[in-house]
Amino acid sequence: MRSQCVVITGGASGIGLGLAKEFAAAGWQVMIGDLQQAAIDQACAEIGSGASGSVCNVTDRDQLQGLWDAAVARFGRVDIWMNNAGVGSDQSLIRDTDPTILTRVVDVNVKGVVYGSQVAMQGMSAQQGGGYIYNTTGFGSNGFWRAGMTIYGTTKYGVTYFSKGIAREMADTDVKVGWINPGMVVTPLVIEEAKIMTPEQWAAGRRVFNMWGETVETTTQQLVQRILGNQKNGVNIHLLPGWKMLLKSLRYLFTRRDLFAEHGV
């Protein structure tokens, strides 16, 4: 039986690396894209099972095409393409945000998903059996707002709309599109942001994460299980819907936990 291949952008750390490890554990061939070759090499060593990678800046469509081509050259085809790469902002209000930060958040979180989806749709349409595309949404995808998260939430709201749109475009083909919302996850990015927040800012953030958050390992295990069990187009895999937030809130009243103690924040 042919081994199946998954491509993950932003796959050298955080949720991307966690996804890569879970897919590899399930017997999949893994190709990751990320910005630095050294980070890719280290990640591939951790993933094991013959994982491979290619330097890729998702704001450059040619580099995303290169990632697709590298995966096909290495593994023969791509069965799942995951637009996972994303960046956060500096938690400031829009009026105070450096324009270069605004540009980078929009470029990576929106343009990267648009370009990656187009590359994958074209490639999968040309191969027998099509494939699956999954785009990562997140905070703001449902319109929820919090101070300091306006630009990030705007991009994730846009990714949700875009994903729904291309799912409809591909409805009569064998290319299927889904979008995933991992919920609140203690990633290296979150930890680094916590280190530069004021004590007052982080006090509130820590409580929220401890109430509703999960580790990368728990999150990616659940995501891969849901992804591998899906055969439909237009599916939203949401790990933290409202009913689950309520249950976690009730649990927090009786069982306190600290997801950050081991990270020194």
Q: Given CA atoms 60, 117, 142, 212 in this order, what sign does their dihedral have? A: negative
Give strand ranges (E) for the chain: 5-9, 29-34, 52-55, 80-83, 131-136, 175-181, 185-186, 214-215, 235-238
pLDDT at residue 194 tops 60? yes
Report percent pLDDT > 70 for the chain.
Answer: 99
- pLDDT of 2 reads 67
CA atoms within 13 A on the CB side of 195: 9
pLDDT at residue 155 tops 90? yes
- pLDDT of 192 reads 83
Nearest to 189 by CA among 92, 104, 87, 261: 87
Could you give the CA distance from residue 58 to residue 85 in angstroms, rounded to a whole number? 7
Give strand ranges (E) for 153-251: 175-181, 185-186, 214-215, 235-238
Give strand ranges (E) for 211-250: 214-215, 235-238
Q: What's the average model confidence in pLDDT over 121-141?
A: 95
Buried b (16+ CB within 10 A) or exposed e, 11-25: bbbbbbbbbbbbbbe
Nearest 10 degrees: CA dihedral of 43, 26, 14, 138? Answer: 150
What confidence tier does 64 reach under pLDDT thresholds 50, 70, 90? very high
Distance of CA 196 to the CA centre of its chain: 23
Burial class (CB in 10 A: 0-12, 13-18, 19+), 42: middle
Which amino acid belongs to residue 91?
Q
Could you give the CA distance from residue 229 to residue 135 in angstroms, rounded to a whole number? 17
- pLDDT of 196 reads 77
CA atoms within 13 A on the CB side of 118: 13
Q: What's the average model confidence in pLDDT over 96-110?
A: 96
Measured in residues, the chain has a length of 265
Enumerate helices (H) and strands (E) in the chain, giving the number of each.
10, 9
pLDDT at residue 163 tops 60? yes
